[in-house]
Amino acid sequence: MHMTHDATAPAAAAITFDDFLAVDIRVGTIVAAEPFPEARKPAYKLTIDFGPTIGIKRSSAQITEHYALEELVGRQVAAVVNFPPRQIGPMMSEVLTLGFPDDAGKVVLVAPSKDVTNGGRLF
């Protein structure tokens, strides 16, 4: 599956509401952020708390251009929580942390505009 991050790309093919519901996007709070020197592209290892139902999950995120490690802890992020875990170097990435590209294609994290309860589902 090829994804384009290009702002000029046309909208993807039409989907049903059930297709949308199949993608489980939740909000969580970053509780730990660590360097990830083994990653092929510059990245951090994130530990994210999605509340009591989903729990604590790990994610590899290529967000080194816009975010310093020390500013990530306590920040809320959105992530897809129902992809199968993916081995990235020595770590297992359990969720896909979401972002949008800036003009240079570097990741800007998606976050709610006000604090919300961890584990809340996007609708």
pLDDT band, residue 52 (cuts 50/70/90): very high
Q: If DSSP states are collapsed to H, E and C, what string results for 50-100?
A: CHHHHCEEEEEECCCCCCCHHHHCCCEEEEECCCCCEEECCEEECCEECEE
| pLDDT reading at 39 higher than 70 | yes
**Domain extent listing, the chain:** 20-109
According to DSSP, the residues that pair with 29 across neighbouring strands are: 49, 76
pLDDT band, residue 1 (cuts 50/70/90): very low
pTM of this prediction? 0.91
Distances (CA, A) of 118 to 57, 71, 91, 121: 12, 19, 23, 9
Spatial separation of the C-alpha atoms in residues 101 and 92, rounded to whole Å: 24
- Determine the pLDDT at residue 6: 74
Q: What angle do CA 85, 59, 119 make, to 5 degrees?
A: 90
Which amino acid is it at 97?
A: T
pLDDT digits (tens, 9 = 90+) for 60-105: 999 999 999 999 999 999 999 999 999 998 999 999 999 999 999 9
CATH number corresponding to 20-109? 2.40.50.140
